[in-house]
């Protein structure tokens, strides 16, 4: 590259003084051969203005113009490109007509680009036929390219112009109706005609764009690679107005055809029959309310069937937030809540707190739904909604004021019921966390405060819990079964090794448990992970569901306890112990709380 640059500068310095008089082609050829066409072109034009008998000069001028055409923007500078293509053909034609064997032999250094080996003689050389054939192909290709350029530009312009016309017609609809609800609910025969006209013009634009893309693939590298991205119109009020740049690779166009087709279908197939369907649906809901009120039965199953009948999807196509749907949603939510109350009535007197909490949570879920939909409806501009749904409001409620009164009454009811159910849910949730005995309330959760008198170490959900109960600094073991009412049950206190199990040693105190299959006999093992006299101290208690504490004994183990299991056949308890090295031992405690010597355990 550096060498070519130095050569170019050298020859420019040689040519410059002479250009005031005459351009020498042999000097100019250095630039042409180095493909320094930008620097060579003005000199070459000067040369050709004074010399019309040099086919090689004409050939290079054709090459220069062909290169310039290739670099022209086919869409922005179409006329310039066509002019360069035409000029290139003219110069190639002049070169072709003047090209002779004599010219090639005399100036063979100018035609080294065509230097080929003769397959018959094996010698290198330049043939006139090769040069002429190359020029013929260039002329033919340039003429074909000119045709493609014209067609390409024509289809591109048509695509852009037809889209602009479709958009203009769309904006006229937009200006006339303002939003989709108004368009759908107040449309007439002329609306259909105007919508179909948009479709026709938009189709013409898309067809022209497709032709443009087809020609582009034949043309080759145009410098453009537009990919059509049709964007759905979802709001007449907001969409469809932005002006696209047809020269961008991602060509985003509003899909006017899809919108007009959907709009026409909505008007013809859905809007017209919709008015009576809304009235019929409201009547069906009112019938279910009367059934619930008179027969005091749940209508949830009937509501499921009724909801399947509604044309939610059809209505939302032309009104994304339809007021009748909110009204129906509110009335249905109220019936669902009242039905839930009826379904739960047989369980009101149950002592099962978890069951009652589950029922309250279901009711709370339904009343929150009613509160949500009634709040949404109360925040609407019902006066404005009544203009679009005049038929529905006047036939079902008489006036907008009556409808507003219904919404307010329902909202007030939802607020009262929600507050009442939330309080009841909180009360039951708290009750579920404690086992109430005659003397105290035992926590049924592990994360107690540091100064709590109870420290749970075992919690088997809905079955039993065990841990330490502290009186000042002295601890005793406790065990309590867990029942559905969270009251009564088996509640046992038993002694533990107070020298080992203190409040300060809680971080290294752990517990294991086991029971028989019927849940009548329970074994609780408290142990320390910190050795005392090279052994791990522990306290085990045996508890009967019917008789309470059977015994409580202190033990010590060479290895750390990891599992407790009840042996049904012998009535013994097996304590598996192990260490990090993988060594393990089994220690057996008989039914009277005495340790059996196994594996040399003392």
pLDDT tens for each residue of 173-213: 999 999 888 888 877 789 999 999 999 999 999 999 999 99
Q: What percent of the chain has a predicted confidence (pLDDT) above 90?
A: 77
pLDDT-derived band at 91, boundaries 50, 70, 90: very high
Where in 325-414 does DSSP place strands (E)? none
The single residue listed with the structure tokens 């000199």 is: 43
Mean pLDDT value across residues 217-236: 92
- The CA-based dihedral angle spanning residues 247, 251, 252, 254, taken in that order and rounded to the nearest 10 degrees: 80
Q: How far apart, in whole angstroms, are the C-alpha atoms of residue 362 and residue 341?
A: 9
Structure tokens at 391: 């038929």
What pLDDT, on a 0 to 100 scale, did the predictor assign at position 391? 84
- Residue 8 confidence (pLDDT) above 60: no
592: left (phi over 0), alpha (psi -120 to 50) or beta: alpha
Mean pLDDT value across residues 73-102: 96
Could you tell me the CA-to-CA distances from 574 to 122, 433, 513 in Å, in that order?
102, 32, 11
pLDDT-derived band at 308, boundaries 50, 70, 90: low
What pLDDT, on a 0 to 100 scale, did the predictor assign at position 309? 57
What pLDDT, on a 0 to 100 scale, did the predictor assign at position 489? 84
What pLDDT, on a 0 to 100 scale, did the predictor assign at position 19? 45
Structure tokens at 244: 């696209």
Mean pLDDT value across residues 58-84: 95
DSSP-derived 3-state class of residue 488: coil
Residues 89-126 as b or e (16 or more Cβ within 10 Å = b): bebbebbbebbeeebbeebeebbeebeeeeeeeeeeeb
What pLDDT, on a 0 to 100 scale, did the predictor assign at position 118? 79
pLDDT-derived band at 89, boundaries 50, 70, 90: very high
Any idea what DSSP says for residue 271?
A: I
Q: How far apart, in whole angstroms, are the C-alpha atoms of residue 330 and residue 339?
A: 14
Q: How far apart, in whole angstroms, are the C-alpha atoms of residue 404 and residue 383?
A: 9
CB neighbours (10 Å) of residue 291? 15
CA 144 from chain center: how many Å? 48
Indicate the range of 110-124, 209-223, 276-290, 369-383 predicted with least confidence: 110-124
- Residue 251 confidence (pLDDT) above 80: yes
Mean pLDDT value across residues 168-176: 96
CB neighbours (10 Å) of residue 20? 6
Q: How far apart, in whole angstroms, are the C-alpha atoms of residue 276 and residue 392?
A: 8
- Residue 146 confidence (pLDDT) above 60: yes
Which helix or strand (DSSP H or E) is residue 454 part of?
A: strand 454-460
Any idea what DSSP says for residue 450?
A: T
- Beta-carbon contacts of residue 95 (< 8 Å; ≥ 6 apart): 55, 56, 58, 59, 62, 135
HSE-CB for 381 with a 13 A CA cutoff: 4
Residues 344-376 as b or e (16 or more Cβ within 10 Å = b): beeeeeeeebeebbebbebbbebbbbbbebbee
- Residue 316 confidence (pLDDT) above 80: no
What pLDDT, on a 0 to 100 scale, did the predictor assign at position 600? 42
Q: What percent of the chain has a predicted confidence (pLDDT) above 70?
A: 94
- Residue 536 confidence (pLDDT) above 80: yes
CB neighbours (10 Å) of residue 525? 23
pLDDT per position as a tens digit, 432-483:
999 998 888 999 999 999 889 999 999 999 999 999 999 877 899 999 999 9
Q: How far apart, in whole angstroms, are the C-alpha atoms of residue 61 and residue 65?
A: 6
What pLDDT, on a 0 to 100 scale, did the predictor assign at position 313? 74
- Beta-carbon contacts of residue 176 (< 8 Å; ≥ 6 apart): none
Question: Which of 420, 419, 423, 441 is closest to 432 using CA atoms?
Answer: 441
Q: Are the C-beta atoms of residues 40 and 46 closer than 8 Å to each other?
A: no
pLDDT-derived band at 6, boundaries 50, 70, 90: very low
DSSP-derived 3-state class of residue 524: strand
Q: How far apart, in whole angstroms, are the C-alpha atoms of residue 236 and residue 254?
A: 11
What pLDDT, on a 0 to 100 scale, did the predictor assign at position 400? 94
**Whole-structure pTM over 0.75, yes or no?**
no
What pLDDT, on a 0 to 100 scale, did the predictor assign at position 602? 39
């Amino acid at each position: 590259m550096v060498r070519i640059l130095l050569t170019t500068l050298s020859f420019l310095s040689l040519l410059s003084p002479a250009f005031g008089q005459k351009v020498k082609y042999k000097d100019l050829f250095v630039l042409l051969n180095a493909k320094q066409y930008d620097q060579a072109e003005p000199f070459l034009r000067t040369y050709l203005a004074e010399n019309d008998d040099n086919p090689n000069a004409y050939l290079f001028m054709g090459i220069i113009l062909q290169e310039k055409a290739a670099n022209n923007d086919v869409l922005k500078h179409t006329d310039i490109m066509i002019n360069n293509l035409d000029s290139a053909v003219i110069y190639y034609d002049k070169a072709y007509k003047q090209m002779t064997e004599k010219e090639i032999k005399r100036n063979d250094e100018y035609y080294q680009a065509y230097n080929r080996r003769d397959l018959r003689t094996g010698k290198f050389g330049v043939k006139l036929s090769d040069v002429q054939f190359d020029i013929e192909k260039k002329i033919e290709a340039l003429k074909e390219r000119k045709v493609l350029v014209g067609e390409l530009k024509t289809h591109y312009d048509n695509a852009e112009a037809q889209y602009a016309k479709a958009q203009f017609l769309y904006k006229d609809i937009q200006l006339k109706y303002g939003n989709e609800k108004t368009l759908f609910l107040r449309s007439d025969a002329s609306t259909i005609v105007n919508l179909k006209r948009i479709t026709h013009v938009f189709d013409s634009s898309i067809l022209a764009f497709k032709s443009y893309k087809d020609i582009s693939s034949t043309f080759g590298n145009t410098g453009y690679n537009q990919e059509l991205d049709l964007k759905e119109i979802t709001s007449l009020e907001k969409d469809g107005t932005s002006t696209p740049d047809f020269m961008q690779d991602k060509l985003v166009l509003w899909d006017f055809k899809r919108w007009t087709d959907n709009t026409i279908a909505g008007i013809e197939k859905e809007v017209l029959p919709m008015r009576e369907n809304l009235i019929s649906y409201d009547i069906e809901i009112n019938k279910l309310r009367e059934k619930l009120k008179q027969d005091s039965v749940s209508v949830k199953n009937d509501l499921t069937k009724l909801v399947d009948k509604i044309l939610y999807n059809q209505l939302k196509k032309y009104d994304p937030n339809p007021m009748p749907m909110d009204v129906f949603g509110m009335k249905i939510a109220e019936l669902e809540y009242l039905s839930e109350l009826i379904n739960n009535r047989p369980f009101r007197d149950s002592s099962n707190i978890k069951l009652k909490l589950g029922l309250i949570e279901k009711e709370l879920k339904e009343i929150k739904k009613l509160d949500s939909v009634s709040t949404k409806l109360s925040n609407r501009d019902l006066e404005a909604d009544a203009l679009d749904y005049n038929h529905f409001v006047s036939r079902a409620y008489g006036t907008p004021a009556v409808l507003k009164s219904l919404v307010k009454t329902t909202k007030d009811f939802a607020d009262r019921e929600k507050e009442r159910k939330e309080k009841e849910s909180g009360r039951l949730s708290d009750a579920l966390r404690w086992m109430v005995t005659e003397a105290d309330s035992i926590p049924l959760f592990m994360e107690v405060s540091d100064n709590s008198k109870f420290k749970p170490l075992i919690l088997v959900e809905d079955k039993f819990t065990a841990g330490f109960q502290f009186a000042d600094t002295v601890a005793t073991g406790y065990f309590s079964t867990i029942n559905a009412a969270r009251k009564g049950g088996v509640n046992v206190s038993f002694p533990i090794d107070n020298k080992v199990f203190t409040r300060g040693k809680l971080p290294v105190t752990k517990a294991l448990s086991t029971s028989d299959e019927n849940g009548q006999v329970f074994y609780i093992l408290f142990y320390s992970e910190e050795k005392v006299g090279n052994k791990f101290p522990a306290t085990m208690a045996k508890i009967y569901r019917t008789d309470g504490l059977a015994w409580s004994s202190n033990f010590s183990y060479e290895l750390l306890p990891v599992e407790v299991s009840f042996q049904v056949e012998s009535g013994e308890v097996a304590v598996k112990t192990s260490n990090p090295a993988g060594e393990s031992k089994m220690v057996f405690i008989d039914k009277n709380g005495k340790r059996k010597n196994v594996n040399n355990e003392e």
